[in-house]
């Protein structure tokens, strides 16, 4: 197994891109074959060989294809088929970046994706991204993350130069650093606008309500915390208090709704992508 994560080097690109990452499963690797991808408010562009297959599944639906594709921000957990060796290069967009980059046509119709079929799209159908997804030009630098970051920065330059900021995206850029404030009325007062204006702009740009975004961030923080601990060291009551849940049943409900498993069941299975591949750091 090979993996790494690196930040963009170009300040202009870094306004829209959170990081670049690589994940490779080699023959003989014993990592889980079907890890789960938990809800994520950020989009990921997956760059892969045009003949490399992929399959995502969710209950009774699945999305099957090959090559490069975009994973939109999504509210549900999906299962990824990683049973065969693979090599993927990923570009993680910042939350709300798709809106400024004019890549949100699908989200504008569906809000943030709930169903699997609304969450994945072939890059061939997204013209601005198609030219970026040419894996062979990156092949010689896959083992040199910083050098590859510069190459990806250059590939993305035209796209980010066409970005457009409107009043909604500008407001959301101010909201995002403040989302630890739980009361929207307090946030609205600090930004000198109404709660309704906050919610309308945030939903338009990100596809989520502010509360949904806060909930996903909290879930991610919980998963990071659990990843660093053995089952025997986990006290669920303490976890509930540490992460601001009203009580342990609230924590159980949140995890079961998001992951389809109770906290105890998840802790035994450890079947998310973070458990399979770590945090790439």
Domain identity same for 117 and 31 = yes
Cα(129)–Cα(31) distance, integer angstroms:
30
198 and 224 together in one domain: no
Whether 221 is covered by a domain: the verdict is yes
Same domain (yes/no): 111, 148: yes
Specify whether 188 is located in the same domain as 234. Answer: no
Q: What are phi and psi of 20, to 5 degrees?
A: -110, 145
- Residue 109 sits at the vertex; the CA angle it makes with 206 and 111, to the nearest 5 degrees, is 35
Nearest to 160 by CA among 259, 12, 6, 33: 12
Regarding whether 175 and 139 lie in a shared domain, the answer is: no
- Whether the pTM exceeds 0.85: the reply is yes
pLDDT per residue as tens digits for the range 30-77: 889 999 999 999 999 999 998 999 999 988 889 999 999 999 999 899
Overall number of domains in the chain: 3
Tens of each residue's pLDDT in the chain, 281 residues: 889 999 999 999 999 999 999 999 999 998 899 999 999 999 999 999 989 999 999 888 899 999 999 999 998 999 999 999 999 999 999 999 999 999 876 554 444 555 676 789 888 888 788 878 877 778 888 889 999 999 999 999 999 999 999 999 999 999 999 999 889 999 999 999 999 999 999 999 999 999 999 999 999 999 999 999 999 999 999 999 999 999 999 999 999 999 999 999 999 999 999 999 987 54
Q: In this structure, is residue 122 part of a structural domain?
A: yes
Q: Are residues 145 and 93 in the same domain?
A: yes
Residues 70 and 196 in one domain: no
232 and 194 in a common domain: no
> Looking at the structure, do residues 188 and 132 belong to the same domain, yes or no?
no
Q: Report the CATH number at residue 85.
A: 2.60.120
Domain range for 202 is: 167-206
pLDDT computed for residue 106 by the predictor: 55
Structure tokens at 28: 């003989």
Residue 8 lies in a domain: yes
Judging by DSSP bridges, how do beta strands 86-93 and 44-47 pair with one another? antiparallel
Using alpha carbons, list the distances in angstroms from residue 62 to 9, 78, 118, 147, 244: 36, 9, 11, 36, 35
Residue 201 and residue 75 in one domain: no
Rounded (5°) CA angle 209-15-217: 35
Q: Are residues 145 and 241 in the same domain?
A: no
Q: For residues 145 and 76, state if they share a domain.
A: yes
């Amino acid at each position: 197994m090979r993996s790494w994560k690196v930040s963009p080097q170009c300040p202009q690109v870094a306004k829209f891109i959170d990081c670049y990452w690589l994940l490779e499963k080699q023959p003989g690797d014993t990592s889980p074959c079907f890890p789960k991808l938990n809800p994520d408010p950020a989009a990921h562009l997956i760059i892969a060989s045009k003949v490399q297959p992929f399959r995502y599944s969710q209950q009774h639906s699945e999305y099957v294809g090959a090559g490069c594709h975009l994973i939109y921000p999504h509210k549900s957990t999906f299962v990824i088929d990683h049973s065969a060796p693979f090599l993927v290069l990923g570009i993680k967009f910042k939350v709300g970046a798709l809106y400024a980059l004019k890549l949100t046509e699908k989200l504008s119709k569906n809000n943030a994706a709930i169903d699997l079929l609304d969450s994945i799209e072939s890059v061939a159908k997204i013209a601005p991204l198609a030219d970026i997804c040419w894996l062979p030009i990156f092949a010689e630098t896959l083992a040199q993350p910083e050098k590859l970051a510069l190459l990806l920065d250059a590939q993305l330059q035209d796209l980010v130069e066409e970005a457009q900021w409107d009043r909604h995206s500008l407001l959301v850029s101010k909201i995002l650093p403040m989302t630890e404030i739980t009361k929207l009325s307090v946030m609205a007062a600090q930004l000198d606008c109404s709660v309704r204006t906050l919610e309308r702009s945030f939903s338009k740009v990100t596809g989520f309500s502010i509360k949904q975004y806060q909930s996903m961030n909290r879930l991610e923080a919980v998963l990071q915390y659990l990843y660093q601990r053995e089952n025997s060291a986990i006290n669920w009551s303490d976890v509930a208090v540490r992460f601001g849940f009203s009580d342990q049943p609230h924590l159980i409900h949140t995890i079961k709704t998001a992951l389809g498993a109770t906290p105890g069941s998840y802790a035994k299975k450890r079947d998310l992508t973070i458990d399979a591949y770590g945090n790439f750091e």
